[in-house]
Amino acid sequence: MKLLFAASEALPLAKTGGLADVAGALPGALAALGVDVRVVLPAYRGTLEKLVDPVRLGELEVRGQRFTVWSGCLPGSKLVHWLIDYPWLYARDGDPYHDPQHRPWNDNAWRYGCFSEAVARLAMGEASGGWKPDVVHCHDWQTGLVPAWLRLRDPAPRCLFTIHNLAYGGLFPRAQFTALGLPPGWWSLDGLEFHGQMSMLKAGLVFSDAITTVSPTYAQEIRTPAFGCGFEGLLEHLSPRLSGILNGIDEQFWNPASDPHLVQTYNAGNFRVGKLANRRAIQQELGLAPDDDAVIVGMVGRLTDQKGFDLVLAALPELLKLPIQLAVLGSGDKLLEGALAREALQAPGRIGLKLGFDEGLAHRIEAGADLFLMPSRFEPCGLNQMYSQRYGTVPVVHRTGGLADTVVDATPRTLKNGTATGVVFEDPDAGGVAWAVTRGVELVRDPKAALSLIHAGMSRDFGWQTAARQYLALYAAS
């Protein structure tokens, strides 16, 4: 089985969110099952330098531009990565999608439209050194046009499209559709048109042989108006080829027993000492009071409406009555950044905040916190609640998407049979958050309950093997 795995971000080359974690780990798990994988990404600034001795595979002509295709491996890995190099479009400051002020690049339709066309050409064996995939696995709107372009070829590889987040529809004005040279007939209800705009995500849905999303619950939710972002009718129609495959986590990279970002590593046998050292370290790092009795509530994430940081802000008066400290790391929406910064100034020693992207601190918060709060309004999968369980940190999550699929709520029954791993709450509002954190504090302050939750969480298997086998079955069937 030959697989071309196309994504707009993948660790350790580029990351803004969980897609990078997935694209950085799943290909390796597939290779371990014998799949011959090539991972393809745009060559963002600094990425080519991360490959060991990259070789020039060839050149592709895309919309009058000459793209260079580089091939190489990451240090210590045999997995082949291909980079589509065209510095004018991809090698910029900022993150893959935004300028340094966090404004979306105004040519994103062109950047990812061209990237997708380049991937489709590679998939047909152009500039690929003779290698041709059986299947192309695409992720999110940035690769949505790959299955569309391949639909025009015969024979073409099969396409699987994974939705990581339906809230990003890849919506652009019709002029961009024309500029990308897409067939005029695709400007229709059956094609790429979506309420008067082009949707690159819709292209991925309509033209793929199979569609997955990253948890079974989200696969159901997106067929309803509350979660479907306007695509619910289409997804209902396409439901025979839609399924949910729960993400795994990279158990090497997120392992408290060997994590180089921690001040002290630990495992299920000695977590008390390990967590104490890591608690003290994040209190110091984030300017929290050096209080061994406070319950530390961690939060890490993109500051967007999805993640519910505003609900935490609204619940703060109630939350600060509890014996807690908040350890928050995030970046994104400037209004949310400002509001969080103001609250942190108002509550010195109680709210520790770092605005920005900091991989090491994300690991240290997972290790140092007692509770990890994820009040997401929706969450296709979510990774931090799984990292938390592995790090002996009790997740407190809204019952939605992958959060519902990965955290077992602490009830008298689940606590008794040792399966409980966290707190799962129903209402994504300030009252729901305050209730859930209060419940979390009670649980971690009850030594018997805390031990049971931590042990159950730390012993769960969240590795990629299960998901990799499910994807492999789909590649073979699609």
What token pair was written down for 118?
């380049």
Nearest residue (CB) to ligand GLC, 198 versus 404? 404
Window 221 to 280, contacts with ligand GLC (CB under 6 A)? 247
Binding mask 401-440 for ligand GLC (x = CB under 6 A): -x--------------------------------------
CB 147 within 8 A of CB 162: no
Nearest residue (CB) to ligand ADP, 300 versus 373? 300
Nearest residue (CB) to ligand ADP, 169 versus 191? 169
Binding mask 332-371 for ligand GLC (x = CB under 6 A): ----------------------------------------
Size of the site for ligand GLC (CB under 6 A): 14
Task: Determine how β-strand 80-85 pairs with β-strand 65-73.
Answer: antiparallel
Within 13 A of 133's CA, how many CA atoms are on the CB side? 28
Does residue 380 belong to the site contacting ligand GLC (CB under 6 A)? yes
Nearest residue (CB) to ligand GLC, 71 versus 143? 143
Of these, 30, 214, 456, 472, which contacts ligand GLC (CB under 6 A)?
214
Does residue 308 belong to the site contacting ligand ADP (CB under 6 A)? no
From ligand GLC, ligand ADP, none, interface partner of 60 (C-beta below 5 to 8 A by class): none
Cα(249)–Cα(363) distance, rounded to whole angstroms? 13
CB 246 within 8 A of CB 214: yes
Angle between helices 430-445 and 309-319 (to 10 degrees): 60
User: Other CB atoms closer than 10 Å to residue 171's CB: what's the count?
Assistant: 18
Of these, 4, 6, 13, 19, which contacts ligand GLC (CB under 6 A)?
19
Cα(430)–Cα(138) distance, rounded to whole angstroms? 37
Query: By three-state DSSP, how is residue 149 classified?
Result: helix
Cα(116)–Cα(120) distance, rounded to whole angstroms? 6
Does residue 18 belong to the site contacting ligand GLC (CB under 6 A)? yes
Does residue 381 belong to the site contacting ligand GLC (CB under 6 A)? yes
Query: By three-state DSSP, how is residue 214 classified?
Result: coil
Stretch that binds ligand ADP, among 11-19, 259-267, 273-281, 434-442 (CB under 6 A): 11-19
Helices (H), 250-393: 271-285, 309-319, 334-346, 359-368, 384-390
Does residue 330 belong to the site contacting ligand ADP (CB under 6 A)? yes
Nearest residue (CB) to ligand GLC, 142 versus 247? 247
Cα(470)–Cα(478) distance, rounded to whole angstroms? 12
* Residue ranges binding ligand ADP (CB under 6 A): 17-19, 21, 300-302, 329-331, 357-359, 362, 381-384
